[in-house]
A and B are shown apart, each in its own frame.
Chain A
């Protein structure tokens, strides 16, 4: 940040927007963030928004109930395309989660203090995205009540899960990721829960936040250990987040299906995950700062930085697409060559062209500063990228499966109403959980904002 100026009113140096608007004190940041939860009346906007999400969650419930009672045949999946929307959605959701961990862990290790005001809700986003992702393999299993078979437990059958299978790696990776994300998020919340406990005026709020805060009293001895834990969790979450999408990509890369069996998958999946995750963070941050008047905390600087990360990861993804194309042609393998031709000219070619439009061409506008600082443009861009990343998973999964080696085994996949209902349902679940989160917990880390007040006032002094 800018440290050259030494007068008390910080002028914008070289047009750099601060990460915290000047003039804030410990009390003012605390008041502002805590009041969203404690004193602000629940507006009709919140109630209406939550009602819509709630009805969509009911749709998810209907879809899941019907699926469990009848079976996966209600979806459009069949042989050869046995992995339809369920796995597309699974990979998409788990990828979205990655940005939350990236912001909270990797940017923390890199001392990027602009992460402070966005890490809390980005972590919440991770949790909710992982929750949505986790539903799909369960539902796709057809008989979810046997899902515990995937875990190694001493069974009367006397056998163990197949530890050489990427699908079992997936179980371990996703469940570890969910657990670690949850505890990382909760550890970050403890001091803020104590703040809410101390500021709550009503008895029920005092009791609930008091129980959750576990008696945190801001003792220096506690902070000492707390900071170690937070740093170590960040250090552990960093390789973890890279491993999760790597393992997800192994689900494909270890198979011999054309278009899947490539070594570029792990890095390209991880970059794509971060790409879509940052897009989702923007999709959430832009309305959040608007409706809760958090423009002081989530400044233009944050939005622009996130746009830059999207541009960078988008370029890595574009590189991945290019090399997928190049390697399949260069390999001379007729199945690989055919797959690429099929992407360009086959029955799903419109999906492939939309993918290129959404993920490679549109984000190039982010090179222009005016676009990066234009909020409606960024919002639309983030939605476009989210759609694009979903299409990418569709291209990888459906196109490859629909035509593999033997023409007699070819098939088509067309989604049914229940496919769409389940996808929409998880979108409703995700948004509904975010609504509850914003209403019940501080969406920005209060303790870290106080630290930021201290640091920015030191820099200005």
Chain B
């Protein structure tokens, strides 16, 4: 039998408005917490900055660029290779490397690969799909995080984490319904 143990995942608190969440995120960052996150039912402008997420956090543009370059160069040189080396064929006296005719496919493949890299890169970096997450153990989080409430969570793996200190810190931010979330 696996021993049934309950770990503490973190402490959550909630806010009613995006402004409070932004202010709280800023204070969490200033207080030096690292393993923490904010949750909002729609993307909030300025929230990544308030949480202190730097440019390095978001590698999606880079991944998209790499995908686009791969798709475009791959498509062009594939057509070049197919028409010049693999199966050279004289079509109405046109040059084997009739590059303008290769542009439409090159363009389409650039867009296709950039888009696929962007989406799968985003999902991969977000570690999705991830069907289970400890936060879903919180009833209020499940009911309201995707509707009308703004949550913060300070995670137990944070080096500064101390249950009593974190709870009172969140109280100091005027967070409502502060609760511990168990990781089962």
Contact = CB atoms under 8 A, between A and B. Distances in A.
Interface of A: 25-27, 30, 152, 158-160, 162-164, 166, 168-169, 172-173, 176, 179-180, 183-184, 186-187, 191, 194-195, 197-199, 210-211, 214-229, 232-233, 236-237, 239-240, 243, 247, 250, 447-448, 450-451, 454
Interface stretch (B1-9, B51-59, B158-166, B167-175): B51-59
A229 B133 contact: no
A228 B122 contact: yes
A232 B145 CA distance: 26
B73 interface: no
Interface of B: 18, 25, 37-44, 47-48, 51, 53, 57-61, 64, 68, 78-79, 82-83, 86-87, 91, 94, 98, 101-102, 104-105, 107-109, 111-112, 114-116, 118-119, 121-123, 125-126, 128-133, 135-136, 142-143, 145-148
Contact of B133 (A25, A162, A168, A215): A215
B129 to A, nearest CB: 4
A232 B114 CA distance: 9
A229 B130 contact: no
Given A160-B83, A218-B146, A152 B78 contact: yes
Given A163-B79, A164-B94, A220-B37, A240 B145 contact: no
Nearest to A154: B86
A163 B47 contact: no
Given A210-B131, A220-B38, A226 B18 contact: no
B129 A215 contact: yes
A228 B37 contact: no
A219 B151 CA distance: 9
Contact of A233 (B37, B82, B119): B119
Contacts of B94: 164
Given A163-B105, A217-B135, A450-B42, A222 B126 contact: yes
Contacts of A152: 78, 82
Contacts of A243: 104, 107-108, 111
B146 A194 contact: yes
A215 B128 contact: yes
B120 to A, nearest CB: 9
A178 B111 CA distance: 12
A243 B106 CA distance: 12
A240 B2 CA distance: 54
Given A27-B148, A195-B147, A224-B53, A217 B60 contact: no
A225 B42 contact: no
A174 to B, nearest CB: 9
A229 B58 CA distance: 10
B44 A214 contact: no
A218 B91 CA distance: 55
A25 B148 contact: yes
Nearest to B81: A160
Given A183-B119, A222-B126, A229-B119, A176 B51 contact: no
Given A223-B40, A225-B122, A243-B108, A216 B115 contact: no
Contacts of B51: 220-221
B49 to A, nearest CB: 10
A229 B82 contact: no
A152 B77 CA distance: 13
Contact of B47 (A158, A220, A232, A236): A220
Given A152-B82, A160-B82, A221 B135 contact: no
B148 A158 contact: no
B146 A226 contact: no
B126 A225 contact: yes
Contacts of B115: 179-180, 183-184, 232-233, 236-237
Nearest to B71: A176
Contact of B126 (A169, A210, A226): A226
Nearest to B61: A228
Contact of B58 (A166, A184, A217, A225): A225
A232 B61 contact: yes
Contacts of A214: 123, 128-131
Most buried by B among A215, A225, A226, A451: A225
A198 B48 contact: no
Given A164-B91, A221-B53, A215 B131 contact: yes
B64 A191 contact: no
A300 to B, nearest CB: 25
22 contacts: A30-B146, A159-B87, A163-B101, A169-B104, A172-B104, A172-B109, A176-B109, A176-B111, A179-B112, A191-B41, A195-B147, A214-B131, A220-B39, A221-B37, A223-B43, A225-B125, A232-B118, A236-B115, A240-B108, A240-B111, A448-B42, A450-B148
